[in-house]
Amino acid sequence: TTIQKDGTMMHTNEINRLDISEAVARQREYYQSGRTYAATERRTHLKALLDVIKRYEPKIIEALRHDLNKGEFEAYTTEIGILYEEIRFSMKRIDRWMRPKRVRTSRIHLGAKSWIVPEPYGTVLIVAPWNYPFQLAISPLIGAIAAGNTAILKPSELTPHVSALLAQLIRETFAPEHVRVIEGGVETNTELLRQKFDHIFFTGSVAVGRIVMEAAAKQLIPVTLELGGKSPCIVHHDANIELAAKRIAFGKFTNAGQTCVAPDYLFVHTSIKDELLAALRRTIEEFYGCEPLRHPDYGRIVSRRHFDRLAGFLCDGTIVTGGQIDAEKLQIAPTILEDIHVESPVMQEEIFGPVLPLLTYDMIEEVITAVNARPKPLALYLFTQDSNVEDQVVKCISYGGGCINDTLMHVASPYLPFGGVGESGVGSYHGKSSFDTFTHYKSILKQTTLFDFSFRYPSSKIGLSLI
């Protein structure tokens, strides 16, 4: 409780509640004043965002080290550099994206013109997860600003150093009526979800995604849900095995496997299993040495709860490499498991850690049937030289997006909309797609007043009247 100016006591929760609805009301007012609308404003704010990230670079890297033991190189490439690209990409194109677009008018509307006006949604909420706590908070914000909205950003409470830094950096750069960070956990988010936003952009788990969509449905608020799931990685018998091993290990063990699009499990053609396993072992050693838990830049698991959950998976199969854990430092070495039962927990839930189960197959059709029997994944990776197999997999399995002969990289292209399908998400973003996500496209038909067709009206005679 806190004592107010008039001497009355107030519960922290109540203050929070009032603060939150007040913050939203002020943003709405600011939005309605039209100050976020002009292209020059949007560009100026994006430039300010770019500059403040540049200024804070060392502090961001330090906060990521504290919260997740991210190494400097990884922090820069996966959390910071990618944002510079995204900001510059949007700044260059805002004028074009904002321009009303003339479209054709059908013959039944003789005399009319039609166009589409991109309009900001208004005041939006962005809720971020902890795994890329900086990038996944700022990246949607770029789209929200480029599209002319005001935004409230709720970072994850599980990465407190990054959360505090985000609050500070945004406070220094934006008027709170324009962009504001509200820190907190489940309770704060629940309160935010009671507000009448014009759009909600959520990144996180499938379970919380359901809660967000339910809350949004009550007020008919449109949502973008960037969720997770089990993303398969298929290695066909004709794959370049050395390259596949490198790219799989990179995709799986970056950020200690805590990446929404990390390969969750491997489907390997039986004939190359041993060769791939040997290559993966060599690669892991090349990346992290023979004692990965001593490598200074090998990531840690975000919390004790997640560490225990992941450690539990180690009993779900035979460990072929890795398996070492350090409960004090919350670290688990890059681990590959085989002899997996598809009913075991490691094959039932999203792993989200450095544990990689390996299954084998003989015919690609088996893989297609097995993947299609599960919820649609966020990503899928296929290693092959055979374009027929490539076509078959892309055509027969529905998934958010992915790579052929690589992992993760589709996420880093502003030309590719990024998002899930089915249980892995609703909507997409990045590049133009981010602008579209935070934009309502308003359709306008302007009819001439020079003439009129009377037959459109009830009980009128066929005819044309000139006005």
- Closest distance between ligand NAD and the C-beta of residue 30, in Å? 24
Active site residue 226: yes
List phi, psi (to 5°) of 331. Answer: -120, 145
Given the complex with ligand NAD, which of 237 and 306 has the nearer CB atom? Answer: 306
List phi, psi (to 5°) of 444. Answer: -125, 135
Decide if 215 contacts 194 (C-beta within 8 A).
yes
- Give the DSSP per-residue string, 289-305: -S-GGG-TT----S-HH
CA distance 325 to 293: 8
**Chain residues that interact with ligand NAD, rule: CB under 6 A:** 127-131, 136, 154, 156-157, 185-186, 189-190, 203-205, 208, 211, 226-228, 260, 350, 352, 378, 420, 425
CA distance 95 to 18: 37
Decide if 136 contacts 125 (C-beta within 8 A).
no
Given the complex with ligand NAD, which of 81 and 323 has the nearer CB atom? Answer: 81
List phi, psi (to 5°) of 215. Answer: -65, -40
Which residue among 79, 177, 191, 226 is the active-site one? 226
Given the complex with ligand NAD, which of 78 and 131 has the nearer CB atom? Answer: 131
- Closest distance between ligand NAD and the C-beta of residue 282, in Å? 29
- Closest distance between ligand NAD and the C-beta of residue 350, in Å? 5
Beta bridge partners of 115: 102, 444
Which residue's entry shows tokens 């600003």? 145
Q: Which residue is nearest to ligand NAD (CB)?
A: 228
Given the complex with ligand NAD, which of 317 and 420 has the nearer CB atom? Answer: 420
Given the complex with ligand NAD, which of 153 and 276 has the nearer CB atom? Answer: 153
Could you give the C-alpha distances from 65 to 68, 297, 379, 428, in angstroms and in order? Answer: 6, 9, 27, 29
Which residue among 79, 260, 350, 423 is the active-site one? 260
CA–chain centroid gap for 246, Å, is: 24
- Closest distance between ligand NAD and the C-beta of residue 431, in Å? 15
Active site residue 290: no
CA distance 5 to 316: 58
- Closest distance between ligand NAD and the C-beta of residue 302, in Å? 8
Given the complex with ligand NAD, which of 118 and 353 has the nearer CB atom? Answer: 353
- Closest distance between ligand NAD and the C-beta of residue 352, in Å? 6
CA distance 24 to 241: 53
**Enzyme catalytic residues:** 226, 260
